[in-house]
Amino acid sequence: MIAMRSLVSVVDDDESVRESLPDLLRELGFAALAFSSAEEFLASASVAETRCLILDIVMPGMSGPDLQQELTLRRQHIPIVFISAHADETVRSRLLAQGAVACLFKPFSETALLEAINAALRVN
Amino acid sequence: MTSLGTSRNDLPLEAAIPAAAAPLESILCTEELQRRPSRPPDYEAENRALVHLVSRLADSPNTILQTLAETILDITQCDSAGLSLLTKDGETPDVCGTRFYWPAIAGTWNPHVGGGTPRNFGPCGDVLDQNRTLLFRHFERRYPYLLPVIPAAEECLLVPFYVAGEAVGTIWAIMHSDRRTFDAEDDRIMASLGKFASSAYQALIHMEDLKVQVTERERAEAEVRALARGLETKIRRLVEANVVGIVLWNLDGAVTEANDAFLRMVQYDRDDLASGRLRWTDLTPAEWRDHDERGIAQLKATGIFHPFEKEYIRKDGSRVPVLLGGALFQGSGNEGVAFVLDLSEQKRAERALRRSEAFLAEGQRLSQTGSFSWRVATDEITWSEQLYRIYEFEIGVPVTLDLIRTRVHPEDVSLLEKMKMVVEARGGGNDFEWQYRLLMPDRSIKYLHAVAHAIRDRDGQLEYIAVVQDVTARRLSEEALATARSELAKVARVTSLGVLTASVAHEVNQPLSGIITNASTCLRMLDADSPNVDGARETVRRTMRDANRASEVITRLRALFGNRDTTTESVDLNEATREVIALSLGELKRNRVIVRTELAEDLSTVSGDRVQLQQVILNLLLNASEAMSEVDDRPRELVIRTAPDEGDRVRLAVQDAGVGFGPQGVDKLFEPFYTTKSGGMGIGLSVSRSIIERHHGRLWATPNDGPGTTFRFSIPCNSGGGADAGSAGAIRTPAVTTATPAMETP
């Protein structure tokens, strides 16, 4: 049963997001794991399992787009849903152009989140 | 006469002269000379005698009379021979003399040399009376006056002795015994020797005269020479000292001699002088010729020309200003001497003085600064032109206290009155500053700032010298500047706000995002067939936490940007810093800036306006973040430090690893509107600095050893007291007031 659930990984330096978002994802029927940085995610065993990556744009150290680039280099084609507290349309357009499935500005609704994840899973 | 009375012979005084005893005829036997048998003339002996006389005259002229007496003695073989000269003064032969004087006697009567007889009491007087040769026998019988002159004269032959054609004496020969008698040959030879002696004596007198004349002339010449030598030495000294130029010239235009000083002045050399190339007429520029003409007219009239200034043309064509004076040589009519003083230095000094006076006047005009002097003892007041202009008085009118009062603001005390107060209170001698206002006739106000300096002149008299500056324009611009600065502060706040919006949105959106996510989760947990109440409780707890977090952001935001007046309070810089970091974290994070804080524990609080200080910190943080926006080859690390500083102060430093402030230098950073950013207003630093300065602190920037810049400010701790509060409040109220504070510096 658990194995049937798609793994959605959350990478965000904000603890509040790491606490709340996985719980909601689980309520929505996904498996969820939270990582506080891109480096931590890359070092984990979950990269290959992850069907959708919810990725904060602005983080200390490696940023969200940096991680996206790194995954591309590693040929890990994980659909990415970017999230950001900075509502910057320029950034969103650029990220979508570079292959992101969606880019959500915080705070985002449950509906928007679910749509983005479903879109990501469809890519798979 | 007395000389005769005291002479070395034994002649009695005239008072004792006995009356003539025998008649003249009884003692004269002159005719016998021709009757007596005579010796043949012995010309050879006569010649020898004359030669002897001549040679003695040459060798020893002073003894010529004695030689004559001895010659007569020798040639006549008599017993005594001598001369009697009529004299007034006892020495000089004189026709009008009253005594006979015996200047020379040879033979037996030699001891009577220097004696003599009265004019009319002896045979000599008879000879002169008759102006011929007389032969006496025992003349003492007629002239008992001569009785004491012994041995007595048996016979005495006397011939007249002429000087300058006048018979002024006799020469005589005496036999004291009858061993022989005088004859015609004696008469002849005596006459011959007498003539010779007359001539010789005359020559002698003449020679003596000549000698005296020569001696006198020599002495006079020596004196003149000595005088001339003295003068010459002095003149030579003058010429050679080359203190002044000295020139010998003639009216034809030639310079015949000149000293080095003159040659230097006109840059000619000795060769020019020797060749005659140096002509004063050529040295004189055309426009000075008529001065020369006047000088020459003066010379011709009076022999001198009074000193006047003119110019000479140097050899190289340049000109030298000179002072010239001189005179014609006496009796030459054409040649003269002149002294020449080089006035270049003096002219330069005059020009420099004029220039510096002009500079001073211009400087006073440009700087709106007048000067003022007051001699305390004499109450003498001197104003510069600019001070008249400031007071708008006609330049030159006498300055009185009453006149000054017509301008000074009725509420203020004039500088002069203030000076008088200082002198009365403290005896003067103090420097002080004074500010006061003028109320001009058109009701406008001028603000004056004076600095007075007390000096004592050479006589010890006190004098005040003051500079008075019209600072009205400065006052007005200070007011305008203060207004502009407060406007700028508002703009800066707005600008910061613009930059902050994103950051604040981030800070608010983060908790909002958490709240919504948690709320969604909560709903789902409760909507489930078997509600997960524990999970829902946890999500509610998180929601409340996030809501509080958002609320704090709003609170901070309101504190920073709320519409409020400045206040003074105790500010913990560490706390203030943390709040600013919290607010700007989003912006910093977006710029991928790593913030490190090194905040000193137990940091003293400072007194000031918390919000203003936080605006400064925020400004520094945002600048630092901005400075690192293009840095990719190193961590974008930002370090904020607080630390106690020297002198009971607290220091805060914001260090970035950015691109630095470039070659424009640090100071430019603080200029309003300076910016290295393409966006932004660039007013942050200048406003920040003014805020820190109003907290009696300073704000500065230094380049790091590594990349980037560190901005620091240092402000006094709380112990500074409440005085700071007022000045911190000055950001809202211009520091300029219209009051006239009296500030005195001891």
User: How many Å apart are CA B160 and CA B30, to the nearest integer?
Assistant: 14
Q: Does B585 touch chain A (CB under 8 A)?
A: no
| Nearest CB partner across the interface for B542, out of A20, A60, A106 | A20
Q: Would you kindly state where each structural domain of chain B is located, as residue ranges?
A: 2-211, 242-342, 349-470, 479-731
pLDDT of residue B65: 83
| Nearest CB partner across the interface for B542, out of A14, A19, A63 | A19
Helix (H, G, I), strand (E, B) or coil at B485: helix
Q: Does domain B242-342 have CATH number 2.40.50.140?
A: no
For all residues of chain A together, what is the average pLDDT?
90
User: How many Å apart are CA B650 and CA B600, to the nearest integer?
Assistant: 10
| Nearest CB partner across the interface for A107, out of B507, B516, B549 | B516
Give me B566's structure tokens: 């400045």
| Nearest CB partner across the interface for B513, out of A28, A60, A85 | A85
Q: Is the pLDDT of residue A39 over 90?
A: yes
pLDDT of residue B498: 63
Q: Over B654-690, what HEC string results? A: EECCCCCCCCCCHHHHCCCCCCCCCCCCCCHHHHHHH
Domain at A77, CATH number: 3.40.50.2300
Determine, for residues B525 and A27 on separate chains, whether the beta-carbon distance falls below 8 Å.
Answer: yes
Kindly give the pairing relationship between strand A80-84 and strand A102-105: parallel
pLDDT of residue B191: 83
Nearest CA in chain B to A23: B521
pLDDT of residue A12: 94
The confidence band for A36, taking pLDDT boundaries of 50, 70 and 90, is very high
Q: Is the pLDDT of residue B120 over 90?
A: no
Q: What domain range includes position A61?
A: 2-123
The confidence band for B724, taking pLDDT boundaries of 50, 70 and 90, is very low
Helix (H, G, I), strand (E, B) or coil at B319: strand
Q: Is the pLDDT of residue B716 over 50?
A: yes
Determine, for residues B509 and A85 on separate chains, whether the beta-carbon distance falls below 8 Å.
Answer: yes
Determine, for residues A16 and B594 on separate chains, whether the beta-carbon distance falls below 8 Å.
Answer: no
User: What count of other Cβ atoms lies within 10 Å of the Cβ of residue B74?
Assistant: 16
Q: Assign domain B479-731 to its CATH architecture.
A: 2-Layer Sandwich (3.30)
Give me B330's structure tokens: 């006496």
Query: Span A40-46, mean pLDDT?
Result: 94
The CATH number of domain B349-470, selected from 3.10.105.10, 3.30.450.20, 1.10.10.10, 3.30.70.660 = 3.30.450.20
pLDDT of residue B277: 82
Query: Span B518-522, mean pLDDT?
Result: 91
For all residues of chain B together, what is the average pLDDT?
80
The confidence band for B730, taking pLDDT boundaries of 50, 70 and 90, is very low
Q: Which residue has the higher pLDDT, B50 or B556?
A: B50
Q: Does A109 touch chain B (CB under 8 A)?
A: yes
User: How many Å apart are CA A101 and CA B729, to the nearest integer?
Assistant: 54
pLDDT of residue B564: 54
Kindly report the CATH number that applies to the domain delimited by B2-211. 3.30.450.40
Worst-scoring range by mean pLDDT, B393-402, B633-642, B715-724?
B715-724
Q: How many CB pairs under 8 A join A and B?
A: 87
Residues in chain A closer than 8 A to B590 (CB atoms): 58, 86
The confidence band for B489, taking pLDDT boundaries of 50, 70 and 90, is low
Q: Is the pLDDT of residue A40 over 80?
A: yes
Query: Span B200-226, mean pLDDT?
Result: 77
Q: Which residue has the higher pLDDT, B120 or B741?
A: B120
Tell me how close the Cα of B448 comes to any Cα of chain A, in angstroms.
Answer: 57
Whether the upstream peptide bond of residue B644 has omega within 30° of 0, thus cis, is: no
Among A24-33, B314-323, B449-458, top mean pLDDT goes to A24-33
Q: Is the pLDDT of residue B397 over 50?
A: yes
Q: How many CA atoms lie within 13 A of B190 on its CB side?
A: 30
Residues in chain B closer than 8 A to A88 (CB atoms): 502
Domain count, chain A: 1
pLDDT of residue B9: 45
Determine, for residues A23 and B521 on separate chains, whether the beta-carbon distance falls below 8 Å.
Answer: yes
pLDDT 10s digits, B255-266: 888 888 888 888
pLDDT of residue B719: 56
Question: What angle is formed at CA B92 by the lines to CA B87 and CA B95, rounded to 5 degrees?
Answer: 45
Determine, for residues B590 and A58 on separate chains, whether the beta-carbon distance falls below 8 Å.
Answer: yes
pLDDT 10s digits, B135-174: 998 888 888 778 878 888 899 999 988 877 788 889 999 9
Q: Does A59 touch chain B (CB under 8 A)?
A: yes
Determine, for residues B505 and A21 on separate chains, whether the beta-carbon distance falls below 8 Å.
Answer: no
Which residue, among A57, A22, A18, has the nearest Cα to A36 in the 3D structure? A18
Residue type, B652: L
Q: Does B169 touch chain A (CB under 8 A)?
A: no
- Domain B242-342 and domain B479-731 have a common topology: no
Helix (H, G, I), strand (E, B) or coil at A12: coil
pLDDT of residue A104: 94
pLDDT 10s digits, A102-113: 999 988 999 999
Beta carbons within 8 Å of B518's beta carbon, 6+ residues apart: A20, A23, A24, B539, B540, B542, B543, B546
pLDDT of residue A43: 94
Percent of chain B with pLDDT over 90: 12
pLDDT of residue A41: 96
Which residue, among B379, B400, B524, has the nearest Cα to B463 in the 3D structure? B379
Q: Is the pLDDT of residue B83 over 80?
A: yes
Residue type, B232: E
pLDDT of residue B676: 47
Q: Which residue has the higher pLDDT, B582 or A19?
A: A19
Determine, for residues A105 and B514 on separate chains, whether the beta-carbon distance falls below 8 Å.
Answer: no
| Nearest CB partner across the interface for A109, out of B509, B511, B516 | B516
Query: Span B513-521, mean pLDDT?
Result: 91
Give every strand in the sheet of B462-470, ordered side by side: B380-383, B369-375, B462-470, B445-456, B432-439
Among B9-23, B572-586, B666-680, top mean pLDDT goes to B572-586
Identify any residues that bridge with B637 across adjacent strands, giving them in sequence order.
B594
User: How many Å apart are CA B215 and CA B209, to the nearest integer?
Assistant: 10
Determine, for residues B594 and A60 on separate chains, whether the beta-carbon distance falls below 8 Å.
Answer: yes
Helices (H), B120-183: 123-130
Determine, for residues A19 and B514 on separate chains, whether the beta-carbon distance falls below 8 Å.
Answer: yes
Nearest CA in chain B to A26: B521
Q: Would you say B298 and B325 are in contact if contact means Cβ atoms under 8 Å apart?
A: no
Which residue, among A48, A57, A55, A47, has the nearest Cα to A21 in the 3D structure? A55
Query: Span B473-481, mean pLDDT?
Result: 78
Q: Is the pLDDT of residue B640 over 90?
A: yes
pLDDT 10s digits, A66-110: 999 999 999 999 999 999 988 888 889 999 998 999 999 988 999
User: How many Å apart are CA B447 and CA B214, to the nearest integer?
Assistant: 93
